Amino acid sequence: MSESFNPKTMLRSPREKLGGYVILPRLIDKVRLHEKKLLPDDYIPNLLKGFDPETGLFPFDGRFLAFVGTDPEELRKTILDSIDDQSVIRWLDRVGRTHSPEEKEKWSEMLSEWFSEPTPERISYRTQAFPGLVDLLGKQALGCANSFDLIDYDEGRLSLEGLKGSGGRSLLEALPPFPPFSKETALRKVRLAEDAWNSRNPEKVALAYTADSQWRNRSEFLVGRPEIIRFLTRKWTKELDYRLIKELWALDTSRIAVRFAYEWHDDSGNWFRSYGNENWEFAPNGLMSRRMASINDLPLREEDRKFHWPQGRRPDDHPGLSDLGL
């Protein structure tokens, strides 16, 4: 790396905005430094590059280019010919894809808050790219880390404690899959929630929720993990031989709606099937920040029960709610 190159002062953070866009200020800096031969070699491979189908990598420069719909070479020339950043914005407004301020904000927020899926490939790449972080964070947390945070940490804008984060963006509590959800990741999220609740372990279940998670469960209103743990402890003291099935109903970027049914009996041997609907909202790190549940209990004859697997996780080959006609 060139001794005259200081990334903290010569490159803006990927979070910094220009014209409503994240990434753009940093991209402008990289283009200008590259023209002056001041940009180090390890910054060059992704410069103005789009999606690579062979590696599956989609650099941030390419994500910006795809969003605004401009040619990389035309953008490079415009940056070098412009006297200031505002000239670049005026050019983008003329030739780029039109986006409302709300669309820009949503796109920028998505990239700024995005957590990664901790795949083996990503963990391996980041272990090489950020030596020492795997020892400080652990493989799971390094794999989940927000890419903007990693860049800011690597370039000296963010401390280790800042990288770890707190509250809704806490890296060390990250629980994939993360929003924004696809149907595939939403289905995984629903099944993971079902598995956790079938463990009937209040402390384990509570870890899937933010520290200040807000609940409405029937007519009870809860805030925070201690209240969640107390509630679940009461619940599973009353609801014996509990078995639950959840099913995806609908999804949005950070919200999931599910329907569910569970069977249980009281201490007098009376069986019930409880039907319910839940609305979930998730923080960027994959923890649930809000849960709203409406539930009705139906008395059940024991011979009409449909959930008979050994207590714990529902087997993969066991029918779901729709398969059972529920």
pLDDT at 65 over 60: yes
75, 98, 287, 292 from 195: Cα distances, Å: 49, 44, 15, 19
Please choose, from the candidates 161, 191, 320, 314, the residue with its C-alpha nearest in 3D space to the C-alpha of residue 256.
191
Which residues make Cβ contacts (< 8 Å) with residue 26, sequence separation at least 6?
Answer: 11, 12, 13, 14, 16
Per domain, the residue ranges of the chain are: 1-113, 114-170, 183-304
For the ranges 85-99, 124-138, 227-241, the lowest mean pLDDT is seen at 124-138
Protein fold of 183-304: Nuclear Transport Factor 2; Chain: A, (3.10.450)
**Could you read off the pLDDT of 278-311 as tens digits, one per residue?**
999 999 999 999 999 999 999 999 999 999 999 9
What's residue 121's pLDDT? 87
What's residue 167's pLDDT? 67
**Could you read off the pLDDT of 138-196 as tens digits, one per residue?**
999 999 999 999 999 999 999 999 999 876 678 989 999 999 899 999 999 999 999 99
Q: Is 222:228 a contact under the CB 8 Å cutoff?
A: yes
Q: In this predicted model, which residue has the larger pLDDT, 73 or 121? A: 73
Residue in the structure block whose two tokens are 């463990």: 199
What's residue 3's pLDDT? 55
Sign of the dihedral defined by the CA atoms of residues 125, 129, 135, 140, in that order: negative
- Helix then strand then coil, in percent of the chain rounded to 5, is 40, 20, 40
Cα 244 from Cα 246, distance rounded (Å)? 7
Q: What percent of the chain has pLDDT over 90?
A: 83
Which of 135-139, 157-161, 247-251 holds the top average pLDDT?
A: 247-251
HSE, side-chain direction, 13 A CA sphere, residue 31: 22
What's residue 1's pLDDT? 44
What's residue 131's pLDDT? 86
Mean pLDDT of 66-82: 96
pLDDT at 34 over 60: yes
HSE, side-chain direction, 13 A CA sphere, residue 238: 7
Q: Is 284:114 a contact under the CB 8 Å cutoff?
A: yes
DSSP states along 181-243: PPHHHHHHHHHHHHHHHHTT-HHHHHTTEEEEEEEEETTEEEESHHHHHHHHHHHHHHSEEEE
User: With bands split at pLDDT 50, 70 and 90, how would you rate the model's confidence at 114?
Assistant: confident
